Amino acid sequence: MKIGVPKETKERERRVALVPESVKVLIKAGFEVLIQSNAGLSSYFDDASYTDAGAQIIADNKSLYAAADILLKVNAPSPEEISWMKPDAVLISFLFAATSPQVVEACVKQGISAFSMDAIPRISRAQKMDVLSSQANLAGYKAVIIGAAALGKIFPLLMTAAGTIKPSKVLIMGAGVAGLQAIATAKRLGAIVEVSDIRPETKEQVESLGGKFITVEGDSSIKLEGGYVKGVSEEFLKKQQEVITKHVSEADLVITTALIPGKKAPVLITEDMVKKMKRGSVIVDMAVEQGGNCPLSEMNKTVEKNGVIIIGESNIPSLLPLNASELYAKNIITFLTHLATKDGFKWEMEEEITKGSLIVHKGQAVHPSVVKTVTA
């Protein structure tokens, strides 16, 4: 089977779905690999490195789409790009299907199959395929670096002949994969780290990394699935805001990481809370692409409100394209080799990983998140 990797076209995207090392693995497994010219250049992989790995370089993306039996991407293709694929081809990329009906409809119309990398079940045997975690890990690290660069003071305690500099206070909201990496990074840089999360079971992990856990008593409105928050009431968010307002006002850097799949990001830092923050303090809103954890953050902009610097970078993993592409490629080839061999897909429809991630099968919407909203 021929695997095609086109150049990403989404604005500010620098990642690529396969790196040369992963091409070698797939060719050894019997696949053919087609790479669009300059697809990896923004991740620092030139065409020669792919050719050396055994891939064939294709100049035109339309020709690549038409030739591929399996198309591997980071971001979902546009409906027009999907129309270039041959019927019965298979797409594997981020789809975020519940909020991308036009992409799902294009897959149905074209008669292809589509797997979504963001829908892979978060179970132990799928850990090596968990692209959400691999990318969030990098994003958590980079968010601290971005915040530190914007902050007009250093993180660690510094005792000098001219006087003592107090350590910076960093508040991290959300102790998921990104949050935990942010804690570890901020601690390594010498900051005092406080952490808020609505899941009390994260307290031990936070403290093991040296963070101070801010306890907010939960209630029955918090819906968890696989250890991840799937829903929370407005009443609880208000209670959380009341508890953390003091901590926000004392923080030098606040990093927010809270997302709810398929929904607008919850508001954690209100406009009133921003007014109480110190002049020169910084917010890095990692949820800006889904509406933001702070209503004052702006997509892909750094703004100053009431003397507070608010950074709204929508694609933080893409700021580390070399590492992000390497990890994504490992995730995607582990996933692909679970689903298929060089001779074809296994189509084990009741197998947990297949069932959880398959959005469209041979032109028919099959995933519960889209089956009711998409018609052929």
DSSP symbols for 246-258: HHHHH-SEEEE--
Of 229 and 196, the one with more pLDDT:
196
Predicted TM-score (pTM) of this structure: 0.92
122 is a catalytic site residue: yes
For the chain, give the percent of residues with pLDDT over 70.
95
Q: Span 326-348, mean pLDDT?
A: 97
Q: Is 322 helix (H, G, I), strand (E, B) or coil?
A: helix
Q: Predicted confidence band at 316 (pLDDT cuts at 50, 70, 90)?
A: very high
Q: Predicted confidence band at 239 (pLDDT cuts at 50, 70, 90)?
A: confident
Residues 6+ apart with CB under 8 A from 317: 15, 135, 136, 138, 139, 142, 324
**Can you give the pLDDT at residue 230?**
58
Q: What is the pLDDT of residues 345-366, one digit of tens each?
A: 999 999 999 999 999 999 999 9
Q: What single-letter DSSP state applies at residue 123?
A: -
369 is a catalytic site residue: no
From the candidates 228, 233, 249, 314, give the one annotated as an active-site residue.
228
**Can you give the pLDDT at residue 231?**
58
Topology at the third CATH level for domain 138-314: Rossmann fold (3.40.50)
Residues 6+ apart with CB under 8 A from 62: 84
Q: What is the pLDDT of residues 162-211, one digit of tens each?
A: 999 999 999 999 999 999 999 999 999 999 999 999 888 899 999 999 99
Topology at the third CATH level for domain 2-129+321-365: Rossmann fold (3.40.50)
Q: Predicted confidence band at 242 (pLDDT cuts at 50, 70, 90)?
A: confident
Nearest Cα neighbor of 341 from 331, 333, 330 is 333
From the candidates 42, 78, 100, 133, give the one annotated as an active-site residue.
133
Beta bridge partners of 159: 164
From the candidates 130, 197, 252, 285, give the one annotated as an active-site residue.
130
127 is a catalytic site residue: yes
50 is a catalytic site residue: no
d(CA 304, CA 285): 13
15 is a catalytic site residue: no
Q: Where are the domains of the chain?
A: 2-129+321-365, 138-314
**Can you give the pLDDT at residue 199?**
84
**pLDDT over 60 (residue 223):** no
Q: Predicted confidence band at 221 (pLDDT cuts at 50, 70, 90)?
A: low
From the candidates 122, 188, 199, 249, give the one annotated as an active-site residue.
122
> If 0-12 CB within 10 Å is exposed, 13-18 middle and 19+ buried, where does residue 375 land?
exposed
Q: What is the pLDDT of residues 135-149, one digit of tens each?
A: 999 999 999 999 999
Q: Which of 77-91, 229-243, 252-266, 269-283 has the lowest mean pLDDT?
A: 229-243
d(CA 148, CA 282): 9
**pLDDT over 60 (residue 310):** yes
The encoded tokens of residue 29 equal 């497994």
Strands 228-231 vs 223-225: parallel, antiparallel or unpaired: antiparallel
Q: What is the pLDDT of residues 83-134, one digit of tens each?
A: 999 999 999 999 999 889 999 999 999 999 999 999 999 999 999 999 999 9
Nearest Cα neighbor of 13 from 328, 372, 242, 284 is 328
| Matching fold, domains 2-129+321-365 and 138-314 | yes
**Can you give the pLDDT at residue 376?**
44
From the candidates 127, 208, 221, 364, give the one annotated as an active-site residue.
127
d(CA 195, CA 216): 11
